[in-house]
Amino acid sequence: MDRKVICFALGTVLCALSYSADAQQPKQLPRVAYLASGSRSSELSHIEAFNEGLRERGYTEGQNIIIDYSFAEGKLDRLPALAADLVRSKVDVIVTGGGPTTRAAKDATKSIPTVLVNISDPVALGFVASLAKPGGNMTGLASIQTDLGGKRVELLKEILPQLSRLAVLANRDVPGYGVQMKEVEVAAQTIGLQLQVEDIQGPNDLEKAFSAITKVAPAPF
């Protein structure tokens, strides 16, 4: 997420807050949940931009708004429990960035307004019914880029005309994997590339993946 994306998302967050504020008791501060798959340190630039955008719109953490941060520390299997905790704490709005956090929030609540940011295709991933009429409790920003996987393959071929084999490292459990990989496979087949896909669940899988890649006879360049 860059600052422009976060600023756009803030508008949606504030709209959701104004809707939720109607149900608040007098003097009770609205609470925004910030659900992240990484750590606080890895999310620091996003957090700073998020708070800066809030301040520009008259919201200061601890004064007229409360922000509950939840970090999975890179352990995606923790996200469902973190999202459930936020729902039990009765936050007013949930902000998510990326497919795994959005999936966890969607599974945890059908009523708390949820603002998603940096989702490649929320319709294809089943988060919203359509971009025009999302329905449900989810809204936010979409970065429609499902065709970029294929474009990247085509660009690689232009840069390296002799390229005949392409290895891709990907996490099959990440939402959007199927949509993105379909574009990569079609592009590779169209331009005659041999495609090798290695599943990566975490850093410990890298050595195994690279070993599998190097076992295949290298293609000439």
pLDDT in tens, 55-107: 999 999 989 999 999 999 989 999 999 999 999 999 999 999 888 999 999 99
3-142 — its CATH code? 3.40.50.2300
Calpha distance 32→15 (Å, rounded): 12
Q: Do strands 194-199 and 165-170 pair parallel, antiparallel, or not at all (unpaired)?
A: parallel
What single-letter DSSP state applies at residue 205? G
Contact 35, 13 (CB under 8 A): no
What single-letter DSSP state applies at residue 5? H
Task: Work out the percent of the chain whose per-residue pLDDT is above 70.
Answer: 82
In which residue ranges of the chain is CATH 3.40.50.2300 found? Answer: 3-142, 148-215
What single-letter DSSP state applies at residue 204? G
Higher-pLDDT residue of 71, 26: 71
Higher-pLDDT residue of 20, 204: 204
Calpha distance 116→95 (Å, rounded): 6
Higher-pLDDT residue of 173, 215: 215
Integer CA distances (angstroms), 212 to 10, 13, 26, 28, 185, in order = 44, 45, 61, 57, 19
What single-letter DSSP state applies at residue 141? E
- Place 125 in a pLDDT band, splitting at 50, 70 and 90: confident
Q: Is the overall model pTM greater than 0.85, yes or no?
A: no
Class of domain 148-215: alpha beta
* Residue in 152, 169, 115, 160 with CA at minimum distance from that of residue 1: 115
Integer CA distances (angstroms), 133 to 67, 115, 128, 157, in order = 28, 15, 8, 39
Looking at residues 38-51, what average pLDDT do you find?
90
Output phi, psi for 139, to 5 deg. -155, 180
Report whether pLDDT(175) > 70.
no
Measured over the CA atoms of residue 36, residue 38, residue 40 and residue 44, the dihedral's sign is negative
The pLDDT value given to residue 28: 84
